[in-house]
Amino acid sequence: MNTSTVIDIDQSQATFAKVDVDDPATFKHCFAEVNGIRLHYVDEGQGPLVILLHGFPYLWYMWRNQIKVLADAGFRVVVPDQRGFGQSDQPDSIDNYDISQSVGDVVGLMAALGEISAVIVGHDLGAWVAQTAAMLRPDLFHGLVMLNTPVPPRGKVKPTVGLKKMAKGRVFHHLYFQQVDKPDREFALDPRKTLRSIYYSVSGSAVGNERWRLFIEAGEPILNSFTEPKEFPSWLSAQAIDYYVDEYTRTGFTGAINHYRCRDRNWEITSFLDGAVVRQPSMFIGGAADPSIEPIEIRSVYDGLDTYLPGLQKKVLLAGVGHAAAEESAEKVSELLLEFLKQFKD
């Protein structure tokens, strides 16, 4: 079955109402003690549960355009700051950021909410957590959606070994993040410049040399691979950037980056998932202009998603959209999510 589609968002007929959702106070904010930490989350709507997991360097806030739309359509939408991010706790030990802890947070949050079934949606880092959760607990997670990051199967070698081979003497950002403290300090030196540069360079708005350079040379600072725009595109408002900057200025980047420092650990503790697949209904939404899927090794994962996700119902690449599809093409992502979620309504 050929489920792959490239969608030109300029031809989209989506008609969602424009709602000012950039103010975080618009949403219902909650906290729960789960899995040994205090987890912050937004909780909106009533109905079948949908859990939205953000990526890096984002927060629950990246889903602000989808939350109200899904809630208005009859779903309970729960959107946490993952551990190490935003208003959720930041455990000290790097081992506290492995995939078992992240999945445990979601499972614990569901228990705290009194829910026994959910569709789980993950972007970037959140896609890794969502896919693993769907594999480990198919009794809880009845559907899976991944945004922008096609998560590969476990593989036969440690991730850092495979990434070094892919980088061919250069440095991939997952490898750069294995350094303790250095990238944290570089990002935190000027959070506004860091976030504006990353959000822009990974997006479909960046062209030519402004686009994110996935591989840097040995010894080169990672921020060299991003470009700060003079003016930010309209899909991310000044108010939205301010919220991101304020949060990361307050928390720093260490907790967030610690998730990447567990790449090899995750591989080591999930040997029992070798060969596992997600059989639940699933969907992938990506950006055709996303620099992160350009390497042939990553593109091959996207091309082979049907193999890793035998329940895959659709995979789409949105034309002109980069790595933050939920923000760059908010209405189209909402439309695709609603199309997928309607099968869980009854």
Q: 30-62, pLDDT tens digit by residue?
A: 999 999 999 999 999 999 999 999 999 999 999
Predicted confidence (pLDDT) at residue 3 exceeds the cutoff of 70: no
* DSSP type of residue 62: G
Per residue in 123-175, pLDDT tens? 999 999 999 999 999 999 999 999 999 999 998 999 999 999 999 999 999 99
Pick from 164-168, 202-206, 284-288: least confident: 164-168
Residue 6 clears pLDDT 60, i.e. is over it: no
pLDDT band per the 50, 70, 90 thresholds, residue 5: low
Query: Cα separations (Å) of 33 from 103, 111, 157, 320?
Result: 15, 11, 36, 40
CA distance to 143, 260, 275, per residue, from 98 (Å):
23, 9, 20
Residues in the chain: 346
Q: Which tens digit of pLDDT belongs to each residue from 299-310?
A: 999 999 999 999
H or E stretch covering 203: none
**How far is it, in rounded angstroms, from Cα 54 to Cα 124?**
7
- Give the model's pLDDT for residue 85: 98
Residue 46 burial (CB count, 10 A): 10
pLDDT tens, residue by residue, 306-332: 999 999 999 999 999 999 999 999 999
Contacts of 274 by beta carbon, 8 Å cutoff, 6+ apart: 154
For tokens 């950002």, the residue is 173
The whole-angstrom separation of Cα 89 and Cα 31 is 10
Lowest mean pLDDT among 11-25, 67-81, 89-103: 11-25
CA atoms within 13 A of residue 184's CA, in its CB half-sphere: 16
User: Under 8 Å CB-to-CB from 230, ≥6 apart: which residues?
Assistant: none
2 pLDDT higher than 80: no
pLDDT above 90 for 20: no
So where are the chain's domains?
A: 4-344
| Residue 14, pLDDT score | 40
Predicted local distance difference test score (pLDDT) of residue 222: 97
Nearest to 77 by CA among 309, 284, 344: 344
Q: What is the pLDDT of residue 18?
A: 52
Instruction: Give the mean model confidence (pLDDT) for residues 247-259.
Output: 98
265 touches 95 (CB < 8 A) = yes
Q: What is the pLDDT of residue 191?
A: 98
Q: Is 98 a residue whose pLDDT tops 70?
A: yes
241 and 196 in contact (C-beta within 8 Å)? yes
Q: What number is the average pLDDT over the span 246-266?
A: 98
* Residues noted as catalytic: 124, 323
Q: Is the pLDDT of residue 8 over 90?
A: no
**Burial (CB count <10 Å: 0-12, 13-18, 19+), residue 146:** buried
Taking CA atoms, 86 is separated from 6, 216, 217, 293, in Å, by 33, 28, 31, 27
Please identify, in words, the CATH class of the domain defined by 4-344: alpha beta
| Under 8 Å between Cβ of 288 and 6 | yes
Mean pLDDT in the chain? Answer: 94
Q: Report residue 7's pLDDT band, with 50, 70 and 90 as the boundaries.
A: low
Query: Which residues does residue 284 pair with via DSSP β-bridges, in sequence order?
Result: 146, 315
What whole-number distance in Å separates Cα of residue 155 and Cα of residue 264? 11
pLDDT for residue 17: 44
